[in-house]
Amino acid sequence: MPKSDTSRLYHQLVKRMRALADIKNAMALLQWDQETYMPKGGAQFRGQQLTTLAELAHRMGTSPALGKLLEKLLDKAELSEVERKNVELTHLYYQKAKRYPSSLVKALTQAANRCFMAWIQARQEHQFAVFAPELEKMIALKKQEAEILGYPACPYDALLDQHERGLTTEILENIFPPLQANLISLLSKIQQKPQPPDDFLYAYADKQQQWEFGLYLLQAMGFDFNKGRQDLSEHPFTTSFSPHDVRVTTRMHEHQLATMVWSCIHEGGHALYEQGLPAEQYGMPGGQASSLVIHESQSRLWENCIGRSLAFWTFHYPAWQKRFPTPFSHIALEDFYRAINLVKPSLIRTEADELTYHLHIFIRYEIEKKLINEHLPIQELPDLWNALYAEMLDVKVSDDVQGVLQDVHWSHGSLGYFPTYTLGSLLAAQWWEQLQQELPQLDEALAQGQTAPILNWLRKHIHGYGSLYTAEELCRRVTGKPLQADAFLRYVQQKYFRIYGLE
């Protein structure tokens, strides 16, 4: 009776993985609460509760019984294709988790805490030197981690693989340098043209009106409020406890309406992905959101390809004007469209436009390679940062808070993370091109306020697979092409040639 034996074992695995997912999702709920509603005084015990649950999850995820079960299942020929993938991927994660000595897990957690505190203090005091010693310790631990994980060519590969399975420096070296050259050449053409005015985007906007407009946009995208909600937090993020409970957050400033709008659409894109995961696969790789590149391809598709398109705002701009009549009742759609797509080199990554954004990423990528593969002394970091900003973006950094201290990532120990932002944009452009081929009336539909055809397509081709495929695999399956920059370059060229009247 081999078949029933296999299904009995597979059922045992599902049961274990669901229990593990329950613990992890309970942690996610505690973390969400920490960022939204927890009173300040709750921090100490909340930290303790999260540590206890993290240890429990680590024990469950590395238990010898789980290992034995996976070994048995790997030998079974009767598994369906999805079951087999679920078993293989769970086995891969199991082996990875087993490789970490508990001393390293603890050291990394503690270093991240200290490094984060030092980063906050360094920003307050405008002193990189306050951050430097803790960052140095963190880098040393990340190098140690890379050695434990192993890598094909250089230690940085091990860190890239943590954020996108199979990603290597070699892959990035084939994509980033030519993309960089193309973007810089396009940027210099744009800079020879007059800039459209965008001052009206910074006009006063009532917070209650902003909040309601954010909800309106989520609704327009197809966000299901029976299976999710929006709240306020210091930094916008998306989290999920199951496909039936997905949370987005936003923040508002009275003179930054645009920041709220596009961050709302961005997080909405992440959330639609989470809501579209197959609930029956809860706890298994097939029911989990894939690694960062696919996740970011969803947020950026909505934020940029859709959310900065003329077609989308043809329908929604009247709603914007109605809610914010001063000054927008006097701003024509075309002027609004040009303003929201303004290209301008700047110091801050998160405020960058769609085009120069990637230059910010290439700078971090160059620095991370030097930190992990070579032995760049930490104290040389600000000078290198500032020199790269002068070279690539032609902007001058006069304060480290606006420079090397602007991102939180390194303080968490997230190295190898930044490249996934650019890859997410490239992949978004590939989905967008495919969507336009398969849904030929796409612009007309968007101009009539219809986003359901897009969401249905994403559900069918992307969301339904969870993390069964890497970004590269999914890209080939859906578009027939490898993950590359061609579609993105066609997209930005078409868009900015029109906006700036280039030849």
- Residues serving a catalytic function are 267
What is the closest distance, in whole angstroms, from the C-beta atom of residue 409 to Co ion in the complex?
12
| Stretch in the footprint of Co ion (CB under 5 A) among 121-129, 188-196, 298-306, 396-404 | 298-306
C-beta of 299 vs 304, nearer to Co ion: 299
Q: Distance between CA atoms of 321 and 328, rounded to whole angstroms?
A: 5
- Residue sitting closest to Co ion (CB): 299
Stretch that binds Co ion, among 213-221, 224-232, 292-300, 342-350 (CB under 5 A): 292-300
For the record, the structure tokens of 232 come out as 């306020």
Residues 402 and 351: beta-carbon distance below 8 Å: no
Contact region for Co ion (CB under 5 A) — 129-137, 295-303, 347-355, 392-400? 295-303
What is the C-alpha end-to-end distance of the chain, expressed in Å? 70
Q: Which segment (24-32, 76-84, 274-282, 293-301) binds Co ion by CB under 5 A?
A: 293-301
Report the candidate in 30, 23, 122 with the shortest Cα–Cα distance to residue 63: 23
Select the residue interacting with Co ion from 249, 297, 298, 299 (CB under 5 A).
299
| Single-letter code of the amino acid located at 381 | L
Q: Are 214 and 234 in contact (CB under 8 A)?
A: no
- 228 phi, psi to nearest 5 deg: 175, 170
Which DSSP letter does residue 232 get?
Answer: E
Toward Co ion, which CB reaches closer, 281 or 299?
Answer: 299
Q: How far apart are CA 247 and CA 229, in angstroms?
A: 5
Question: At its nearest, how many Å lie between Co ion and the CB of residue 300?
Answer: 7
Which of 434, 486, 440 has the alpha carbon at shortest distance from 460? 434
The pair of structure tokens assigned to 34 is: 């920490």
Pure H helices in 341-485: 357-372, 381-393, 409-412, 419-438, 442-447, 452-461, 471-479
Q: Shortest distance, CB of residue 31 to Co ion, whole angstroms?
A: 16
Cβ at position 296, least distance to Co ion in Å? 5
Backbone CA torsion sign across 125, 127, 130, 135 = positive
**d(C-alpha 97, C-alpha 221), whole Å:** 37
CA angle centred on 168, ends 166 and 174, rounded to 5°: 120
Among the candidate windows 1-9, 207-215, 299-307, 388-396, which touches Co ion by CB under 5 A?
299-307
Please choose, from the candidates 233, 318, 228, the residue with its C-alpha nearest in 3D space to the C-alpha of residue 273: 228
- Other Cβ atoms closer than 10 A to 106: 13
- Which of the ranges 49-57, 296-304, 391-399, 453-461 carries the binding residues for Co ion, by CB under 5 A? 296-304
CB atoms under 10 Å from CB of 349, counted, come to 18
Q: How far apart are CA 357 and CA 224, in angstroms?
A: 30
Binding mask 334-353 for Co ion (x = CB under 5 A): --------------------
Minimum distance, C-beta of residue 299 to Co ion, in the bound complex (Å):
4
Within residues 205-264, the interface with Co ion by CB under 5 A covers: none
Nearest residue (CB) to Co ion, 299 versus 430: 299
Q: Which CB atom, from 210 or from 299, has the smaller least distance to Co ion?
A: 299
Count Cα atoms within 13 angstroms, Cβ side, for 240.
23
What are the tokens at 324? 């914010």
**Cβ at position 420, least distance to Co ion in Å:** 9
Structure tokens at 356: 């120069």
Nearer Cβ to Co ion (35/443): 35
Q: Which is nearer to Co ion, 299 or 484 (CB)?
A: 299
Least spacing, CB of residue 270 vs Co ion, in Å: 6
Q: Is 321 exposed, middle or buried (0-12, 13-18, 19+ CB in 10 A)?
A: middle
Q: Which of 435, 443, 444 is nearest to 487 (CA)?
A: 435
How big is the site for Co ion, counted in residues (CB under 5 A)?
Answer: 1
> Which x/- pattern over 172-201 shows residues binding Co ion (rule: CB under 5 A)?
------------------------------
Contact 100, 114 (CB under 8 A): no
Rounded distance between C-alpha atoms, residue 87 and residue 110, angstroms: 32
- Specify the residue, 190 or 248, whose C-beta has the smaller distance to Co ion: 248
Cα–Cα distance, 202 to 208 (Å, whole number): 17
Q: Does 291 bind Co ion (CB under 5 A)?
A: no
Residue with smaller CB distance to Co ion, 86 or 240? 240
Instruction: Kindly state the smallest distance separating residue 425's Cβ from Co ion, in Å.
Output: 11
Which residue number, 299 or 411, has a Cβ lying nearer to Co ion? 299
DSSP conformational letter for 195: P
Work out how close the CB of 26 gets to Co ion at its nearest, in angstroms, rounded to a whole number.
23
Q: Which residues bind Co ion (CB under 5 A)?
A: 299
